[in-house]
Amino acid sequence: MSTSNFLKVTVLGFFILNFIAGCSTKNFKKTPLDNYIVENSSEEEFSVILEDMDVEGTFFNTYMHKYRVIKHKEDDMLFEEVSDWVEVDEKFFTKHEDNLGMVILEKQGQGKISKAASPPGYRYVGDDRYGEWRTHNGITFWGFYGRYMFMNQMFGMINRPVYRQDYDTYRGGGYYGKRNYYGPKKGNGQLYGTNSQQTRKEKPNFFRRRASKSGWSSSRNRSGSRSRSTGFGK
């Protein structure tokens, strides 16, 4: 190959590589979770809970999320912030349709970040700064110290206590920080997430709103996601 032809091939290859790189950059779209990671980079620990979901529109749908962000004060006390409605893309919305009320982003000590869905408050279970394991009638469950009793309400643990056996499954069963965990099966449903009985009790407005929108289920089918008839509204 002559020097001129070699230069032409090299230049062409350079432009092709840059074109591909440019397309990849354009196709990448930050999710709200990515934005939270950047915005809270100075925080040593924080959690993001999917507080609400909605679909607006009839022919052209707009997908919306609302988040509850749990942060730490210097004395280890917690406080929460609830976001406004945030528009998300359909793929991201579909990915989290089963995760209402769940933690979908968590940053722990040493900058460890997880996007695996987990039950709210599990981050603080087993941490002796906040509470201890207690046993009653042969059943071991997590109890927060008096100073942190408000966390039972914050994380919905009053009617849904965390039992040692379930927590050990979460930590030792390959879920922690890696796979979504919805708790043990409870009857025909889940203990946590959109499809749990507790979520239906805690968020009746969500289920009424969803049942009134025919476009919600149709958008699910168009996206090619799971179309289980038992997933919603029953």
pLDDT, residue 25, reads 43
> Chain-centre distance of CA 170, in angstroms?
16
Q: What pLDDT shows up at residue 105?
A: 97
Q: What SS3 class is residue 85?
A: coil
Instruction: Measure Cα distances from 197 to 141, 185, 192, 220 in Å.
Output: 20, 11, 8, 22
What is the pLDDT, as a whole number, of residue 21? 47
Give kind and range of the element (H or E) at residue 66: strand 62-72
Under 8 Å between Cβ of 202 and 101: yes
Q: Can you spell out the DSSP letters for 124-139?
A: TTT-TTTEEEEEETTE
Q: Tell me what pLDDT residue 138 has.
A: 95
pLDDT of residue 1: 59
Q: Say if CB 144 and CB 161 are below 8 A apart.
A: no
* CA-based end-to-end distance of the chain: 70
* Contacts of the segment 30-39: beta carbons below 8 A, 24+ positions apart: 31/88, 31/92, 32/65, 32/67, 32/86, 32/88, 33/104, 33/105, 33/115, 36/67, 36/69, 36/105, 37/105, 37/107, 37/113
Domain boundaries, the chain: 28-120+176-222
Most distant pair of Cα atoms in the chain: their distance: 87
- Look at residue 75 in the predicted model and tell me its pLDDT: 80
Q: pTM of this prediction?
A: 0.80
Rounded CA separation 75/105 (Å): 22
pLDDT score, position 57: 84
What gap in Å lies between CA 36 and CA 111, rounded to an integer? Answer: 13
* pLDDT < 50 regions, the chain: 6-12, 14-17, 19-25, 218-219, 221-234
Angle at 150 between CA 144 and CA 165, to 5 degrees: 35
Place of tokens 């707009």: 62
- Is the CB of residue 88 less than 8 Å from the CB of residue 107? no
